[in-house]
Amino acid sequence: MDDEADKQKLSSSRIHSSTEFDGLLKKIGDFSKFQYIQWLLLFLAVIPQAWYTYAPAFAARKVDETQMLCSNTINVTGKAICKDRIWQDVDYCGKVKYSPEYTSVATDWNLICADAKKYIPLTKTIFYAGKLVGAYLFGWISDRYGRRVTLLSTMFIQFVASLIQSFSVNFTMYVILRVPLGVCSGGTLIAAFALMAEMVGPNRRNVANILVQSSYGVGIPLLALLGYLVRGWMSFNLAMTIPNVVFVLYFCFVPESPRWLAARGRIKEAEVILRKIAKINGHEYEEGDLEQIQGLYKKEEATKTYHFWHLFSTKYLTKTTIIEGWSWLVVSGVYYGLSFNSGNLSGDYYVNYAASGLVEIPAYIIAGILVDKVNRRIPLIGYFILGAVSLLCIVPIQATGKQDELSAVVMVLALIGKFTISAAYYQVYIHAAELYPTVIRSAGVGFASLCGRIGGMAAPYVVDSTPPIFPAIIFGIASMTAGVVTFFLPETKGKPLPDYINEGESQGIILKVDEKEDKDQTTPL
């Protein structure tokens, strides 16, 4: 997953301590009936993000060379059609016919042979490019105009774009409409996670993170089932889109985050929602409670402005930024690459996709437990290296041509790789957030996120434009290098949180830290 509400996901790390608002929320129920209902609604809202992300796996599915033949010269099939671009010679080849039991943009607009390697990956890469823009654009909109308006607007735009895309008249139209789907995907994830995290206490936000990411584990197998049942790409796209009309009802059932309203000084509106929470949870809201802490929501003026170059202002920060940038590029590239490559493995296309999604759910749960029970660094290194070994074990099987004979073994190894990279994806957010000082934390995680998006954009070309053996080699080696370089980062669990940049570096702690702050401290917002 997703997957990318990057800045918002920092809630699952120690940088979020208890606040005055958390104390107020606890009095009216910080994890009770109201939260159960809202979390269920928001979880359902995030599932379609997996559909929009992986729709090209079915709607833009490539045609195998063995499933093509020339209508005028029936003895010209397979690789012979691609040789010297015979398929473009209308007089000799005629119209290319396809034998698969499905249709896709590839069959409708003859995106085959070399053109398939060039254009099919674009349907996925352009989505991640849009997601990169959307994460930052809607991150700002979410902070400025609210979580609720961001959630509702992005879901509506995606519905309209996907609906129109179902009637695309050419490949260009189909690809262009992937842009708003990607842009809004970043916004939906940000808003949904923020709403989940801000309505509960700090000890529940890690669960919100697991729930948001697990939505992909549910969404991918559901999409695979739909692809199996509906084989025409236009009908498939419509069947995927139409159910999302129900989210219009969220306008009535999903309120704005009272925490955000209070932070923006909209106390009266926040109190209306707090009264509703208290009533549903069986508690009573004491009038004036929020007004008493209103003064705590004023932000302190920054005494110094920090910029991107500060990420490289010390030896430690330079090392951390380079390592984190590479780790995020790898984890995103390998995650999305393995997801799309699952359909290229031996075995049933639809079962492979469903399994690649289902394996994410236990991965996020186990990672969520280990990150607190063990530490940050060691499990992350283990995920990278174990995943690399499992992927590299696929290489000799493919090299000897035994992938069909040993299809079950290949699938198990690929699923181990998907499991470990999903767990790593969960954990890199937390580790990165705790490595950077407060004054440049957003910049640090933002740069790492940018690198991750680049990895996601590159992954489709590794999967669709290289020989079948290459993805396992590239993803395996990349994951191994990420595990090795992570070894040179410090452990952050139980360490004082960094606040300011300081030239004096000692055991990876480069900053002046407020020793009075700990995760149980009560601070404004």
Instruction: Summarize the confidence of residues 137-151 as an average pLDDT.
Output: 87
pLDDT digits (tens, 9 = 90+) for 186-228: 889 888 988 998 898 877 877 888 888 899 999 999 999 999 9
In sequence order, the β-bridge partners of residue 523 are: 19
Beta strands (DSSP E) in 227-374 are none
Amino acid at 230: V
**DSSP codes joined into one string, 22-64:** HHHHHHH-SSSHHHHHHHHHHHHHHHHHHHHHHTHHHHTPPPP
Instruction: Tell me if 324 sits within 8 A of 444, measured CB to CB.
Output: yes
DSSP for residue 77: B
pLDDT in tens, 91-131: 788 888 888 889 999 999 989 888 888 999 999 999 999 98
Higher pLDDT, 427 or 54: 54
SS3 6: coil
* Beta pairing partners, 506: 509
Cα–Cα separations (whole angstroms), residue 323 to 119, 343, 432, 490: 32, 31, 10, 12
CA proximity to 340, closest of 353, 355, 354:
353
**How is residue 489 written in tokens?**
């980062």
- Degrees to nearest 5, angle at CA 197 with 31 and 212: 105
Tokens describing residue 163: 């609906």
Structure tokens at 255: 């309120």
Residue that has been written with the tokens 């301590």 in this structure = 17
Residue-range domains of the chain with CATH: 25-53+114-254 (1.20.1250.20), 68-103 (no CATH), 307-515 (1.20.1250.20)
Which of residues 204 and 320 earns the better pLDDT score? Answer: 320
Q: How far is residue 435's CA from residue 497's CA, in Å, rounded to a whole number?
A: 8
pTM value is: 0.84
Q: Determine the 3-state secondary structure of 406 from DSSP.
A: coil
- How far is the CA of 194 from the CAs of 7, 160, 180, 187, 266, in angstroms? 10, 24, 21, 11, 18
What value does the CA radius of gyration of the chain take, rounded to a whole number of Å?
Answer: 24
Quote the tokens at residue 172. 């260009």
Strand pairing report for 68-70 and 509-512: unpaired
Would the pLDDT of 10 be above 80? Answer: no
At 496, give phi and psi (nearest 5°).
-60, 140
Instruction: Report whether 481 contacts 326 (CB < 8 A).
Output: yes
How far apart CA 365 and CA 214 sit, in angstroms, is: 8
Averaged pLDDT of the chain: 84
Per cent of the chain over pLDDT 90 is 51
pLDDT at 338: 94
Residue 104: its pLDDT value, please?
A: 94
pLDDT digits (tens, 9 = 90+) for 380-423: 999 999 999 999 999 999 999 898 889 899 999 999 999 999 99
Structural contact between residues 522 and 26, judged by C-beta atoms closer than 8 angstroms: no
pLDDT tens digits for range 169-180: 999 999 999 999
Tokens of 148: 């609720």
Q: Which of 55, 57, 52, 60 is nearest to 185 (CA)?
A: 52
